[in-house]
Structure 1
């Protein structure tokens, strides 16, 4: 298993890791869903999402400056709330939302790959290819490779260049016109609630910056470079997302973007460049999803191993040999595979949004209530981040209650189960320690 060491991650490496996780499924899988909710001006939702993410990142940067740690968010929660149910549950929500993101990436890989062969996205091959990619990520992570940082940095650069080429080519064909996508027939009317809900999905495409906070203690000069890496990563991603969204908007009517929402980039390449454009777009999607999933699997398994070492989550070996991180890697991959097979892209993204925003609000409240003086955080900025999260989560939940209430119910039950499970685990552990 690849292990990082102190001062082993340069500023460039940290940016590569962040963009590697961020610019993967986010833009490929979510663009059509964002268009469906936001309507013709959907590219602007990425700016709103970038602003909300910027406020949100402030708390993480302040915490990283004070407590640079490989534990990242798990360690921040311990500093804010102690080793209790809230810390353990919020850390689990973070870990599970990252696993959900892996299943989103896996299904995106399957959906885009099939575009080469003109196979319908409803095919069983979508989850089958997704499971195959997860298996590949497991093999890379478990084989003891130390090239994960270098690999993700190089691949991140390749896919960013590829996406910019795609975007500029699409815009060139469209004459670089800044006009909203044409409505076309059968397009739903967007409301204020649905537009704010669309911002929730853009936040999901930016949340890869948390990978950098999880690598805090390994980054060279962390007090200076963690914040820089996060800001640069968010800005690079915002520019790439805007260019791509603008290119798609210029080449397809809104109805077509929504109809092909799970593979809208490939569909937008068709009128602009024909089959060659589709193949090029699919190639970028494959590169992006492979690099994103390898980096994400590594980050989640390490976070779960850290929570296990801190005795905040239960752990069973099930007869497996090797270190705890190898075991958590297996759990991560198995859960991601189950989600990939059971849920479609829209539902995976929806659950991921709800879990992530709940966790994010718990982090902001912890910083505001318990740590703002220790980490020298501006309370106004932290509260703004908390309020923006609450508004976006409320709008997203409202829209989903009206369109797919089952996902909201599933998310609530899942969150309750995590909190109850962690409470019982920690209570039993305390009782056992008292006996001994």
Structure 2
């Protein structure tokens, strides 16, 4: 069995983990993509995304109070659907979306770091630096919970302060003018569908709160503190996102934001603060992505270990020593490395959003239909969360079918193969029992 240390993570440490995952890929890698889909009013999309996330977080909070567990989402799904194919399938979707997020953060780290050396963002150094960050995250994660929570808490505070300084400076330069970004003839047309689709990416930027559910038994007083940590992490992230989005909107045209979408914050810092601002922003991005990757790897490896212990996913040691938890950490890093090498930021984000929203809907549906008599929850709020996810997912997939059909096909193949693989694995276990 994997070893979990109860009460090893304090409330502040949990909040540090949550914000550590959220305030990384969310604002640095996705802001430009949100602007591309949502147009000049893209800052409002972060607010809408925060509201939709709030509805979703309600389900997780209620489940965490009823079933605090280091397995988090995996345990919730088993409580909802039993130890069967659907629970294992949805749990793996969550794990995949978290690993995808790690590769998103890793490539963001590489993209922003290269801004210090005036190297093209399409350089091979982007995946090389991303892989290097993943290796560093692995080394930190094998050091134990105490170091991880201290490291992520301190570094999360530093990056939040840095981002607030950036946002404040940008708004001061713009005379605190909360005007939408200027449009140009080259800016893509924004439709209602694309605007709604952009919400999917902001939801992805908030999904870090689910990290906290995977530390259920490890967080001190989990029945209270998991919910508190989720709430504070979302509110802190939303506040930072809004300020940053408006600062960028006030200093760059929408066309420029889209052109520089993979490093929009660094591009926005130059007109506001000059070269010093670019250096400052890149350093903050490096700090943010480092803390984000460490917190995310910490969470997903434990989730996979719990799923393995519950015999919901297959496991092979491949001759590696140590616990299952250590093995799943290795698997997590290796898969993230492969994605970092072969996919760009836009496609990584798209696949992550699709897989995550499907898993999220399965969680809400289970609470709505399977546990309504066992878990005290407002079914209207849970139903609203399911409906909002469905609307956003439909719009996002429709936009991607028109603009990038390949990533929709790849996502569909991943869904089909995962479901079939889990069905065969579960059936084999039943036959052998």
TM above 0.5, yes or no, is yes
Secondary structure of 1:321's aligned partner: coil
- 2:236 equivalent in structure 1: 236
The whole-number CA distance in structure 1 between the counterparts of 2:414 and 2:218 is: 33
Separation in 2, partners of 1:319, 1:4: 23
Taking the aligned partners of 1:29 and 1:345, their CA distance within structure 2 comes to 7
**Counterpart for residue 316 of structure 1:** 316
Match in the other structure for 1:113: 113
* Partner-residue secondary structure (3-state), 2:87: helix
Aligned to 1:406: 406
Does residue 74 in structure 1 map to residue 87 in structure 2?
A: no
Cα distance in 2, alignment partners of residues 25 and 294 from structure 1: 13
Does the 8 A contact of 1:159 with 1:284 survive in 2? yes
In the superposition, the TM-score normalised over structure 2's length comes to 0.98
Q: What is the match of residue 335 of structure 1?
A: 335
Cα RMSD (Å) of the superposition?
1.1
User: What is residue 216 of structure 1 aligned with on the other side?
Assistant: 216
User: What secondary structure does 1:23 align onto?
Assistant: helix
3-state SS, counterpart of residue 371 of structure 1: coil
- Quick one: structure 1 residues 10 and 64, their matched pair in 2 at CA, closer, same or farther if it must change by over 3 Å? same
| 1:171 matched residue in structure 2 | 171
Q: Which moved more, 1:179-188 or 1:27-36?
A: 179-188
- Aligned residue for 1:245, secondary structure, equals helix
Separation in 2, partners of 1:308, 1:349:
27
2:354 is matched with: 354
Stretch deviating more after TM superposition (143-152 or 398-407): 143-152
> Hey, what's the Cα distance between the residues in 1 that align with 2:122 and 2:218?
42
In 1, the alpha carbon distance for the partners of 2:3 and 2:243 equals 36
Aligned to 1:214, what secondary structure does the other structure show? helix
Matches of residues 108-257 of structure 1 in structure 2 within 5 Å? 108-144=108-144, 146-257=146-257
Name the residue aligned to 2:429: 429
Query: Could you tell me how far apart the structure 1 residues matched to 2:211 and 2:341 are?
Result: 25
Greater CA deviation, 316-325 or 215-224?
A: 215-224
Instruction: Say if 2:71 and 2:303, in contact at 8 Å, map to a contact too.
Output: yes
**1:102-155: CA deviation from partner (whole Å, max 9, x where unpaired):** 000000000000011111111111011101111111122224473001110111
Q: Name the counterpart of 1:39.
A: 39
CA distance in 2, matches of 1:124, 1:331: 23
Which sections of structure 1, spanning at least 5 residues, go unmatched? none
Q: Distance in 2 between matches of 1:336 and 1:279?
A: 27
Query: Contact conserved, 2:3 with 2:325, CA < 8 A, in 1?
Result: no
Match of 2:116, SS state, is helix
CA contact (8 A) 1:3 1:146 kept: no
CA distance in 1, matches of 2:143, 2:20: 20
Q: Distance in 2 between matches of 1:145 and 1:380?
A: 37
Any conservation in 1 of the 2:183–2:255 contact (CA below 8 Å)? Answer: yes
Instruction: Return the alpha-carbon distance in structure 1 between the equivalents of residues 152 and 119 of structure 2.
Output: 30
- How far is the alpha carbon of 1:185 from its aligned partner? 3.6
C-alpha distance in structure 1 between counterparts of 2:168 and 2:54, whole Å? 26
Give the whole-Å Cα distance in 2 for the aligned partners of 1:65 and 1:239.
26
CA contact (8 A) 2:64 2:226 kept: yes
Match of 1:419 in 2: 419
* Structure 1 partner of 2:304: 304
| Alpha-carbon distance in 1 for matches of 2:378, 2:422 | 32
Cα distance in 2 for partners of 1:254, 1:154 equals 34
- CA distance in structure 2 between the aligned counterparts of 1:49 and 1:158, rounded to whole angstroms: 25
2:3 maps to 1:9: no
TM-score (norm 1): 0.97
Cα distance, 1:392 vs structure 2: 0.1
